[in-house]
Structure 1
Amino acid sequence: MKRGKMKFMTVLVALVLMASVPMTAMASEPVTIQGEINDSYQIVDSNGQVYEIAETEKGNDLVENHIGEKAKVVGTLQQDQDVKIITITAFEILAE
């Protein structure tokens, strides 16, 4: 009896912990986005979709040196509620 109760409690605790973590969806495949970089750590595509840029070495480099420029970025997406966050792994500044 004790063994069954312990297994049940372990599963219950695991489920409670999973439910308490905010749902985050991550793309398993890299995505490519083209848009304009702004000073709010965002890239805005031609449809007006806003992607928050994760503060990483590449993300910081992009924002600190290319505000107002158009770029093609490659990275992975995370979504936290209605906010899309891209962790940039590579970028290219596009000629206007």
Structure 2
Amino acid sequence: MIRYDLRAADAPSLDSALAALDAAMIVALDVIGTITVQTGEIDADGAPINQPIEGWHANLYTVEELSPAELEALPVIPTPATPWRMLAGEQADPPPED
């Protein structure tokens, strides 16, 4: 199973890009949506203040590697160092050695 990390401008843009794929290739699609990160600041109630990361995020899992044309049509991004979400049993890649 091959994983692709995706980030589109918005949900409709991601849907349009995915519509071009052969559905038989897709094992799973984990739509994450908007991802937020803590700013380090606290609001008046003592809660952390979060800031959205640009884009609409998803993880796409396929049976086999996508063709160059399929990859070109998708908003694929490099796998983050700390993935937001992974499937059960999936392991993050170890950090690169110096």
Q: TM-score range by the shorter chain?
A: under 0.3
Q: Give the TM-score of the pair, scaled to structure 2.
A: 0.24
Bigger Rg, which one: 1
Q: Which is bigger in relative contact order (C-alpha 8 A, separation at least 6)? A: 2
Q: Give the TM-score of the pair, scaled to structure 1.
A: 0.24
More helix by share: 1
